[in-house]
Structure 1
Amino acid sequence: MALQTANAGIHYNFINGEWCASSSNQTITNVSPSNTKDVVGVVQKSTLEDLNQAAASAKESEKAWRKLTGNERAAFLYKAADLLEDRIDEVANCMAREMGKSLGESKGETARGVAILRYYAGEGLREVGDVIPSTDPDALMFTTRVPLGVVGVITPWNFPVAIPIWKTAPALIYGNTVVLKPATEAAVTCAKVIECFADAGIPAGVLNMVTGRGAVIGQGMADHSDINGLTFTGSNQVGKQIGQSVLARGGKYQLEMGGKNPVIVASDADIDLAVDATISGGIRSTGQKCTATSRVIIQNEIYEQFKDKLIQKVKNIKVGDSLDEETWMGPSASEGQLNTVLSYIEKGKREGAFLLTGGERLSGPEYDHGFYIEPTVFEGVTNEMTIAQEEIFGPVLALMKVDTLEEGLKLANDVDYGLSASIFTKDIRKMLEFIEEMEAGLVRVNAESAGVELQAPFGGMKQSSSHSREQGQAAKEFFTSIKTVFIK
C-alpha cells in the first residue's frame, strides 16, 4: 500500500517512487543513544517480498534511466543537493539524535553529502572512454562505459548521510538504478536523504530504499539475481559472506570493511600537532570510524612527553548528549556497541596492558539513559594483545613504544588490516620510507588517519577491502563496465 510520509515519526520504504509500508506490517523503533527515552522514529521491518518489489522496480526503470544523457541525470543530483543543503539543520539534528554523533560533526557530514552530490553531478559531463589506434587504417576503435544495471547499496550506521550518498550518487550518474538498504540503526536519517531525491523528482524506480534486518534484506540483496552489482560497507565477517554470495551467482561486488589504523610518531615530530591529530583521529565520533586511529606507535625519545600531553588532553574531553553544542564526544551508537567496547577494554586489562585513563561506562543523571563511555588510553600494549589486533570501533587508544622507524613500520604492518595510516615527522626521508613501506590504501603525513577527501579514491589493502576503490573518479571502475567499439 502506497502511503505519504507520516508526521508521527513513521518512515516507510521508498519503492517505485512511492512511500510504502512493509508487507510484514512490522516496524522497528529507533531511540537515541544519548537518551533512550527519546524516540527518533520508526522504520519498516521489511521482508523479501518488499526487496523483490524494489529490485523489480529498479530493473523496470533501468533502460529509461540509462538512456538519459549524463547531463539530464545530473540535474536530479543537483536538485537533491540543493534540497539537502536547505535541510541541513533538520538532517544533522536527526543524525545526532539517532546515532550519537556530535551536532557539529553531524552538520559537517551533511554538508559533505551536499558536496558529494554536486561532485558526481559534474561527472555527467566528463569523458567516458578513449580513442585507441587500430592496426586497420580504415577503422575507428574506441572505448565507452556502460552501467552495470541494478546496483545494491548496503550502508553502515556510522556515516548515515555521507556513505549512502557516496555510493548512490556515482551509481546513479553512471546510469545505474539503485536499491539501498541502510543500517537499521540509522535508517531514519537515511530516509531524510532519500526524501531529498524524491522531492527532486527522480523518476519512479530509479532509486529505492528498503529498511530491515541485514540477515533478511542484506543477504537477500546478495542473493538476488536481478541485482547486478553490490557495494557494501560494514564488518569483515558480514562483508566476506556478502562477497561470497554475490560471487557465487556471478555478480560484481565491492567491500569496504574494517581497519586497525596506526599513527607513527617519530622522534622529530611536532608533538603538539601529533597529540591533537591522534585524539581527533582516534576519539572523535566516539572512535566509530573505519579510519579511526587505534594504535599509536611512538619513538622512545619522545614517548613520555607525548604520553603526558595526550593524557592531559584526553582527560579534558567533554562527553555528553550529542545535541549539546559543548559536547566534543557523544555516546556509543548503541548498547551493543558500548558493550563491545567495554569487553575489549576488559581484554586489554586481562592481557596485561596498563590502563592510563578512562575505561569505564559513565554514570550519573546526564549519562544514565545513554550509552556513554570514557575516552580510554592504554600503554604497555604488545602486538599479540587483542586490543592491538582487532578493530574495537570505540574511543580506545593503544600506546606502543619503539626504538626506530623501521621497528615502528614493522609493527604498523603486523595486522590483518590495511585501511589507513599516518606518520608525524619533519624528515623527508622518513616520510618517503613510510609512504613506500606502509601497507595501507590511505597514507597521510602530519595529519590524522581519519580523513579522506571526496574527490580522492578511498579503500584499503589486505582484509580491509575487496581491493576496489570508492569516491572520486575511481568510483566509475566499479559502477561501470568498459565496452570496446570497433567501426570498420
Structure 2
Amino acid sequence: MSLEHRNYIGGDWKESSSGTTFEVVNPANTSELVGCYQASTSDDTEEAIAAAVAQNSWESTSPVQRGEFLSTVARKLDERKQSATKTLVREEGKTRAEASGEVQRAIDIFEYYAQKTRDLGGTVKAPSGGRSKLYTKREPLGTVGLITPWNYPIAIPAWKIAPALATGNTFVLKPASAAPGPARILFECLDEAEVPDGVANMVTGAGSSVGTPLTTNSDIDAVSFTGSTAVGTAVAQSAAEDLTRVQCEMGGKNPTVVMPSADPKEAAEILGAGAFGTTGQSCTAASRAIVHEDVYDEFVDAIVEYAAGIEIGPGLENPDMGPHVNRDELHSTLEYVDIGIEEGAILETGGQELTEGVHADGLYIKPAVFSGVDNEMRIAQEEIFGPVLAVIEAEDFEHALGLANDVEYGLSASIVTQDYTEANEFVDRIEAGVAKVNEKTTGLELHVPFGGYKNSSTNTYREQGDAGIDFFTSVKTVYENY
C-alpha cells in the first residue's frame, strides 16, 4: 500500500503543483513513517476553489437526496472504522479507545445531518394583508472554506462537512498537517459514495499556502475554522475584509470548580478524565481545578494519586494516555512545566519526559499536577494543550466563580457539587459557552450547539446541531401576493 497520498480536487486525486510532499510520523514511534502528503501551493488551493465554484448541480439536488448521500458516506465510513481508527492513532497519538470513539462520532454526525435534511426549510408567518403569503426559505451560501485542527482530525472535519453538504454547499477542506490521514479516509468515503465532481475538495499543506487563500479568495462565501486563538483571530480579520461570513472556535483555559459538598475522590476522577484524557490535547480539556479550601488538601491527594496511576504508552496498545502529537507540542508542554516551577507553584507529580523502554522512541510525558497555584500565574492563564493541571485554592463559592471567570477564554467549564443552588448559580454566571454540572469539561453531544465566549470564539455562529444548519445557510424572506 502506497504511503503517498494526494489532494482531492474536482473529483480527482491529484499531486500538488509543488511536486513535493511532507511526512507524518507515528508519535508513539517517531522512526515510523505513517504517510506522505502533498505540500500544496496557493495555486492548488485556487484550483480547488475554482472546482467548487464551478459545481452548480449540488444546490439543486433535493435535500432528501443529499440526506441519502450523507447516509451512504456514514455507511462507507462505518465499513472503514477499524482502519480509520488505526490511522488516527498512528498519526495523532490517541489511544485506540479514544480514536474509535472519535471515528464513531464522525459516523453519527453524518447520520444526524442526513436526517436533518428532511427538516430543511423555512417558517410561515401571518401577513398583514389578505390574499398574500409571508414566509422564509433557507438557501446555501455557495462555496465554503473549512480549516480543521489535528487534535480531532476526523470528528471536526465531519461536523463541518456534513452540515455544509446537507444544506447544498460546495467546500474546500484544509486539514491540519500533523494528522491529515483521517480526513483523507473520509474523502475516500465521499469519493466511493460518488460525490459529484467539485462538491468536495481537500488540499493539504501549510497554512500560508493553503489556509490563506481560503480566507482571502472572493469566491469563498464563508470560512469555518477550528484552532488556536492567535490563528483564528487572523482568519477572522482576513475574512472580514470582504465581509465573508466567518465562524472560529479557538482556545480554552477551562476550569472545574470543586465545592465542599463534593466527594474529593469523585471530583478527582471527573477532573482527571477531563484534564488528562486525549493527553490534554483538547480545547475543552480541564486545565484549572478551583477547589474550596475545606476539601483542597484531600482533593490534591486524590488527583495526585489519579495522575500517578495513569498508564502511558502507544495508543494501539490502548493505555490510559498516549503520546503528544509531535515534538513541538511535547516541548511546549515541558516548557510550561518549567514555567510553573519557576513561578513558584508546587509540582506534586509528573511533568517529566519519558524516554526509556516502551517510551524510548515516542513523545511521552507524565501527566503533571501543580498545587499552590495563583490564578495570575501563566500556567493558570495560558492554554497549555497538554496534560498539565493547575490546582487553585478558593475561599468560597463567590471566590471560586471569580477565579473561574478571570481568564481571557470562555469555552467549557464545570462544577462538582451536591448543592442545587450552587449548581444553578454556576450555570447562570459562568462565562463559558459550555457549562456542566458534575461532569468533566470534555465531551460533547452532537445535536446541541457548541462554541465559546470571549477569546474562545468569534462569537458569531455556533457549530453542531441546528446551529450547523444556521451557519451554512442564508435566510430569504418572501412576500407573495396573489
- TM-score bucket (shorter structure): over 0.9
- Within 5 Å, which residues of 2 pair with 1:385-464? 385-464=377-456
1:289 paired with 2:282, answer yes
Amino acid at match of 1:161: I
Output one character per residue of 1:311-337: Cα deviation in whole Å (capped at 9) or x when no partner.
Answer: 112111001111113x11001110000
- Structure 2 residue aligned with 1:37: 31
- The ranges of structure 1 where at least 4 consecutive aligned residues each deviate by more than 2 angstroms after the TM superposition are 270-273
Q: Is residue 292–residue 450 contact of structure 1 (8 Å, CA) maintained in 2?
A: yes
The CA distance in 1 between the partners of 2:179 and 2:64, in whole Å, is 31
Amino acid at match of 2:417: T
The CA distance in 1 between the partners of 2:476 and 2:372, in whole Å, is 55
Kindly state the Cα deviation for residue 216 of structure 1 after the two structures are TM-superposed: 1.3
Output one character per residue of 1:25-46: Cα deviation in whole Å (capped at 9) or x when no partner.
Answer: 1101100111011111110000
- Structure 2 residue aligned with 1:4: none
TM-score by length of 1: 0.97
1:46 paired with 2:27, answer no
Q: CA RMSD in A?
A: 0.8
SS state at 2:360 partner? coil
SS state at 2:130 partner? coil
1:362 paired with 2:362, answer no
More moved, 32-41 vs 266-275: 266-275
The CA distance in 1 between the partners of 2:233 and 2:132, in whole Å, is 45
Aligned pair partner of 1:12 in 2, 6, 26: 6
Q: Is residue 120–residue 138 contact of structure 2 (8 Å, CA) maintained in 1?
A: no
Kindly state the Cα deviation for residue 406 of structure 1 after the two structures are TM-superposed: 0.5
1:58 paired with 2:52, answer yes
The CA distance in 1 between the partners of 2:174 and 2:192, in whole Å, is 20
Structure 1: stretches of 5+ with no match in the other structure:
1-6
1:230 paired with 2:240, answer no
Amino acid at match of 1:405: F
SS state at 1:179 partner? strand
Kindly state the Cα deviation for residue 434 of structure 1 after the two structures are TM-superposed: 0.2
Amino acid at match of 1:300: E
Aligned pair partner of 1:27 in 12, 18, 21: 21
Aligned pair partner of 1:125 in 118, 125, 130: 118
The CA distance in 2 between the partners of 1:280 and 1:70, in whole Å, is 40
Output one character per residue of 1:396-417: Cα deviation in whole Å (capped at 9) or x when no partner.
Answer: 0000011101100000000000
The CA distance in 1 between the partners of 2:164 and 2:428, in whole Å, is 32
SS state at 2:178 partner? helix
The CA distance in 2 between the partners of 1:186 and 1:484, in whole Å, is 42
SS state at 1:459 partner? coil
Output one character per residue of 1:216-272: Cα deviation in whole Å (capped at 9) or x when no partner.
Answer: 111111111111100000011111111111100121110000000000001001333
The alignment-based identity, stated in percent, is: 44
Q: Is residue 59–residue 140 contact of structure 2 (8 Å, CA) maintained in 1?
A: yes
Kindly state the Cα deviation for residue 52 of structure 1 after the two structures are TM-superposed: 1.1
Output one character per residue of 1:190-210: Cα deviation in whole Å (capped at 9) or x when no partner.
Answer: 101110111111111100000
Aligned pair partner of 2:269 in 276, 279, 283: 276
* Count of aligned positions: 480
Kindly state the Cα deviation for residue 368 of structure 1 after the two structures are TM-superposed: 2.1
Kindly state the Cα deviation for residue 363 of structure 1 after the two structures are TM-superposed: 1.4
Kindly state the Cα deviation for residue 9 of structure 1 after the two structures are TM-superposed: 1.1
Aligned pair partner of 1:181 in 159, 174, 178: 174
Amino acid at match of 1:484: T
Kindly state the Cα deviation for residue 365 of structure 1 after the two structures are TM-superposed: 2.6
More moved, 267-276 vs 352-361: 267-276
Amino acid at match of 2:329: Q
Amino acid at match of 1:102: T
- Within 5 Å, which residues of 2 pair with 1:293-308? 293-308=286-301
The CA distance in 2 between the partners of 1:214 and 1:254, in whole Å, is 17
Amino acid at match of 1:302: V
Kindly state the Cα deviation for residue 89 of structure 1 after the two structures are TM-superposed: 0.7
- Structure 2 residue aligned with 1:164: 157
- Structure 2 residue aligned with 1:376: 368
The CA distance in 2 between the partners of 1:40 and 1:424, in whole Å, is 41
SS state at 2:53 partner? helix
TM-score by length of 2: 0.99
Structure 2: stretches of 5+ with no match in the other structure:
none
- Within 5 Å, which residues of 2 pair with 1:104-143? 104-143=97-136
The CA distance in 2 between the partners of 1:384 and 1:114, in whole Å, is 42
Q: Is residue 42–residue 188 contact of structure 1 (8 Å, CA) maintained in 2?
A: no
